[in-house]
Structure 1
């Protein structure tokens, strides 16, 4: 035994000083079973682990049925080691659907054990899924060898800090990508803590990761909307409000934004403006436009000019529905662009515009226009998480425009 936790002491009664450095056979109620031990070790080396019911002797002489799980095989100081955990069998602690097995392998929290050189010794299924890197490609390697560099570098720096200070770091939040889903940004909260033996010698580091993307998106949306409240709608001038919306979104949210307002708003309490016919494009006027490039060279029309843009293959009827259109990947060679909007297709190619969200501007069931957000220099495409912020920004401006 090279390490003994307080939980093990509470379970069996032996303090660490009486167990560490001695054979684990002293915990057994009977003689060791060499064949069974070899089979358990082989399963751990293969990465599948082992669990089973083992009668163990407590310090006070009692025999306890312990649900034991061996979950890893790794090297420490040149010798093979195993991570073994257990709990007394109770009516709620059965071999079928072991709570410990669920906790370690199917927990929503990603977990890993690394040696002092920051090489993976063990990880659970959740962490394997988070990173998108197969377990066998991680074991024996450092995070920087299997994860994107921008993601791995700060993680390794914090791990070394934990090893040098002996103090845990909790709730370190960062944005990252996974090899399994490289185009979707995720937010993670990680904790790092030192692992030590009974002699308080460091033998590695523990690593826990929680996906907090929903929490991060909610916080980002709240911050964006709060900030927008001070920047959009400073006056009741329609064109100025449209320009404030475009200016606010670039580059916080998009690389190119244009706001087109209907010549004649329709729907709601606007009896003089009937809805457009099937297949008809609405008559609009460019009211605001902003870009990360000086002069907005991506724009086909200038502010103040008429425009009839709706994202292919839609027509004006999608404005009535009010739902945003998300096009994560734009294909300028598709029929909708090359045939229906060839000039815009040329701008997509020239400036690398690759992703789009178009949000109808509505207030009191009245359709006022359309705001379109596009990305080019930002390589991350828009996804479902970006629709809510886009909708909120447009809704903020719609109140003033109405």
Structure 2
């Protein structure tokens, strides 16, 4: 047969016709469209005449093997054109049964085994005489194959082939390993249409199925491992994925540093390393896995910690119990950092690990190591975020005179960059601040920290809330320019922020809002205003003007501030927020608990119940715009100090009040009001007037009779400043008690 001769037809490993030549169309009288995909037995079984035929493998690889069928030339050289030679069908069947290495089985209409080719027998290691003549289910049950008799009868009755039915078995030739066979069944009829029986082909597809199972397991590992940013849960996910689909037991061991949430050290694999069990699982009741947290013996991972995925030989007993079965150990490492190791074990006498298993273990452990690295990075970032978002030490006591405050942080681990502050201000006032930087992550928390510092610095300037937000907006723009110059990023940070300043003397609340931070007010009668301010542009976005409001609240009102959710759908609705807050009889802590569960994850909440200073804490007088008014002001100050019992130097207090009053009379405008505010260890002196001119201290000449007032105040007072209103300004100075001042014990 010349090498260039084209076969009449081509058959694949499942006995299906995959090639049909023009000569075959003439010889059989059927076109390719009617034949391709059909069983070769259906094609040749309908023929009753023929001659000698030959079937030869075309492709040598078993996975893709095909066979070509040629018609043998007779002595007269008639070639392939004759159709009257008897025995065509039988010849092809004989050729297929004797030369094909695919398992072939012929069953009669009663489903008894009539013929089995040598390949099928060799594949199962069973003598021919033990199968021939027996019913199919009984014949193959003896060799570990379970045949679905109803499927065979369905093919026999309907004529519809059953293709690629997977059957699992442990054949006598290899009883230690489970094999997977692909079974296809076809009905065979003769030329008269009488049903002759069934032909079944079997192909060992164990390698294919194992490869597909590895791919499925690797896909599942990528879906499951790393779903949580937690080290121990990630180790547990590795165990869940691999037991029992890959191994009968899995032990994940991590270093002490990793379990503590610290960065793993760069360590050589040949060095000693303390490993503790982070997660373990096993299907073996006779040999339970080690307990979580226990120190693991080095023998579990071989002579030394492996630097790559390694198959260990089967050894004797370990841990004084059952012997090791096939073992495979792998390091958990990424970028030179060693997180630990993992040991996979199969039952004693089970399937050994192969090169394909090594590749699979490498893919799974690489995924696990990457997830552990992400979990550690998150843990460190979360520690930083928690530290940056902690309640400021010492501020709660300083703000209690103005408001009773409760704060909450709903953890979620996203690093949203949320913060809150309650800042004490001069005059017993308090500034309530809640903000959040967009785009979660450590960079957002770093930006939040800088903005928080900026707010605290700007608050000392006694700016109105809307003016403070405008300055903060400029700060965000500057940070954006810095990030762009350093990293070339076109993105820039933006932030939400709401600032509310409460004055316990007047009951006034001044507030401004950038973005859509949650802001609500509850009055003592239970009425709730969930939108005292409209949402405005973000800091770093469109910029000022920002929405602002000035209200006078009755004592016992509640101010609620919270950072917003990523979307409006994730945050509380106005109705749910109003329902949670409409309980004026609840204290701030209870209100905070009621609102906290409505917030999105990793958001902060600040609840403040306002207070007013009593008449025994504030003294106020109208000052006539005459220079002689300084004397009565000094006397009133001295009298009030004695009544309050403050350990303030009377001479210092009288001098500061005298200079403030004189300065307001000379350079201010009426009406002028003097106010003294009593603190626990301090006295605040305030003078109000209607002028907007900014006072400033100057150094008077020796011959000048005046011009030293603010200089004296700045020298004697602990702190002083000016805050402005629409109708004037307030100049203030704070005097510390002598028992708490510098140099005291």
Counterpart in the other structure of 2:563: none
Q: Which residue of 1 aligns with 2:288?
A: 298
Out of 278, 282, 287, which is 2:278 matched to? 287
User: What is the Cα-based RMSD across aligned positions, in Å?
Assistant: 4.4
1:358–1:141: structure 2 CA closer, same or farther, 3 Å change rule?
A: farther
Deviations 1:24-69 (CA, angstroms, capped at 9, x unpaired): 8xx89xxxxxxxxxxxxxxxxxxxxxx99765998xxx87998x99
Taking a change above 3 Å as real, the CA distance of residues 389 and 308 of structure 1, as seen in their structure-2 partners, is same
In the TM superposition, what are the counterparts of 1:271-282 in structure 2 within 5 Å? 273-276=267-270, 282=273
- The count of corresponding residues between Structure 1 and Structure 2 is 312
Q: 1:238 aligns with which of 231, 236, 245?
A: 231
Q: Kindly state the Cα deviation for residue 149 of structure 1 after the two structures are TM-superposed.
A: 5.8
Structure 2 counterpart of 1:381: 351
Say if 1:401 and 1:150 are closer, same or farther in 2 by CA, change over 3 A: farther
Preserved CA contact (<8 Å) 2:185 2:200: yes
After TM superposition, the structure 1 = structure 2 runs for residues 2-401 of structure 1, keeping only pairs within 5 Å, are 11=27, 83-85=90-92, 101=95, 104-148=97-141, 152-263=145-256, 273-276=267-270, 282-292=273-283, 298-299=288-289, 301-311=290-300, 314-316=302-304, 319-320=306-307, 322-325=308-311, 327=313, 330=314, 332=316, 337=317, 341=318, 344=319, 346-348=320-322, 354-376=325-347, 380-384=350-354, 386-401=357-372
Q: Which stretch shows the higher mean deviation, 391-400 or 146-155?
A: 146-155
Question: 218-227 or 144-153, which moves further after superposition?
Answer: 144-153
Q: 1:220 to 1:306 in 2, by over 3 A?
A: same
Task: Please identify, of 116-125 and 142-151, the stretch whose mean Cα deviation from structure 2 is larger.
Answer: 142-151
| 8 A Cα contact 1:243 1:288, kept in partner | yes
- Alignment partner of 1:182: what SS? coil
- TM-score, normalised to structure 1's length? 0.62
**Larger CA deviation: 143-152 vs 301-310:** 143-152
Q: Determine helix, strand or coil for the equivalent of 1:289.
A: strand
Range 150-159 or range 163-172, more displaced: 150-159
In the alignment, is the contact (CA less than 8 A) between 2:267 and 2:338 conserved in 1? no
Q: CA separation of 1:365/1:200 partners in 2, compared to 1, >3 Å: closer, same or farther?
A: farther
The residue that corresponds to 2:538 in the other structure is: none
1:191 Cα offset (Å)? 0.9
Matching residue of 2:426: none
**Deviation readout 1:64-118 (Å, 9 max, x if unpaired):** 998x999xxxxxxxxxxx94339xxxxxxxxxxxxx85x5444353222222233
Q: Distance in 1 between matches of 2:140 and 2:102?
A: 18
1:3 is matched with which residue?
A: none
Higher RCO (CA-CA < 8 Å; seq separation 6+)? 1
1:175-228 deviations in whole A, cap 9, x for unaligned?
Answer: 333211122222222210111122222111111122323332232222222222
Task: Check the 8 A contact 2:136/2:147 in 1, yes or no.
Answer: no
Rounded to whole Å, the distance in 2 between the matches of 1:127 and 1:293 is: 36
Provide the C-alpha distance between the structure 1 equivalents of 2:138 and 2:298, rounded to a whole number of angstroms.
47
Q: Mean alpha-carbon deviation: is it higher for 168-177 or for 119-128? A: 119-128
Mapped partners of 1:63, 1:195: distance in 2: 24
Q: Distance in 1 between matches of 2:83 and 2:143?
A: 49
Question: Structure 1: which 5+ residue stretches go unaligned?
Answer: 1-6, 29-50, 71-81, 87-99
Q: For 1:398, what is the secondary structure of its paired residue?
A: helix
* C-alpha separation in 2, matches of 1:9 and 1:136: 40
